[in-house]
Amino acid sequence: MSFAKMQGLGNDFMVVDTISQPVFFNESQIKKLSDRHFGIGFDQLLLVEPPQQPNTDFHYRIFNADGKEVEQCGNGARCLARFVKIMGLTWKYKLRISTLKGVISARMHKDGNVTVDMGVPNFEPDRIPLRYANRELNYAVDVDGIKYSVGAVSMGNPHCVLEVDDIEQAPVERVGPAIGQHHLFPQQVNVGFMQILSDREISLRVFERGVGETMACGSGACAAVAIGQLQQRLGSKVKVHLPGGDLTIDWDGEGQPLLMTGPAEFVFEGQIEI
């Protein structure tokens, strides 16, 4: 099987073209391939498939390192867009790509950056999903007797975000998995730890469900900016500093699509027997 390794700000992917080669994975295979000592090593596996809807160019599926399929991945969307161009699967610079949660669009720039229209953020509890009856700006989540105040949103996948004073001291490894698997989130949740530097700049660390803390999370950056703006803490254009690098998020407010711009890099290609 042919594959490529790609990364977006250190969030790394194994990308497989299933259009020109028949490939099927099970959960145990994905876990083995994701292992950084005994496999290829990646945060997510991305499968490029033929279009499933009218007026789309490709469909793509996303699997976390634990083998579970998920709905959305912002860094993955940028990498997928560059992958299909580099591999000669398209001549276009603007693409419409379907996912489990809908259609996104991607536009490639000459400088190597990719802008992805991540769709409209959804704050309704039943769409996140979140076990709260009413929508609120902040939700109380109890972890070992300590109540954390978090904002929550769906970017096609579930996110919650809590504000911290010092991103370096944020309790990501302790609080991240506890909130991520909290009973209030029936499908688990990605947990962002956000330090607001100004209304145009934040620092962010994200504990991703099924993966752990990653170098970058594109949908997590989108979620943090959407929640921060809804809470009137952030402006319409925000630079997000992640451990792996920076993303730029543009959002004109509730009901409008959110745009994410950042790099996507081809690392290497190879073949492996599975």
The catalytic site residues sit at 73, 217
Query: Is 11 known as a binding-site position?
Result: yes
DSSP state of 169: G
Query: Is 74 known as a binding-site position?
Result: yes
H-assigned helices in the chain: 27-34, 74-86, 172-180, 218-230
Query: Is 134 known as a binding-site position?
Result: no
Query: Is 138 known as a binding-site position?
Result: no
**Residue 124 half-sphere exposure, CB side, CA atoms within 13 Å?**
5
DSSP state of 86: H
Rounded distance, CA 41 to CA 32, Å?
Answer: 9
Q: Are 223 and 161 in contact (CB under 8 A)?
A: yes
Query: Is 149 known as a binding-site position?
Result: no
Query: Is 192 known as a binding-site position?
Result: no
Place of tokens 């730029």: 248
Rounded distance, CA 17 to CA 3, Å?
Answer: 7
The alpha carbons of the chain give a radius of gyration, in whole angstroms, of 18
Query: Is 82 known as a binding-site position?
Result: no
Query: Is 26 known as a binding-site position?
Result: no
User: What is the widest separation between alpha-carbon atoms in the chain?
Assistant: 55
Annotated binding site: 11, 44, 64, 74-75, 157, 190, 208-209, 218-219
Annotated binding site for substrate: 11, 44, 64, 74-75, 157, 190, 208-209, 218-219
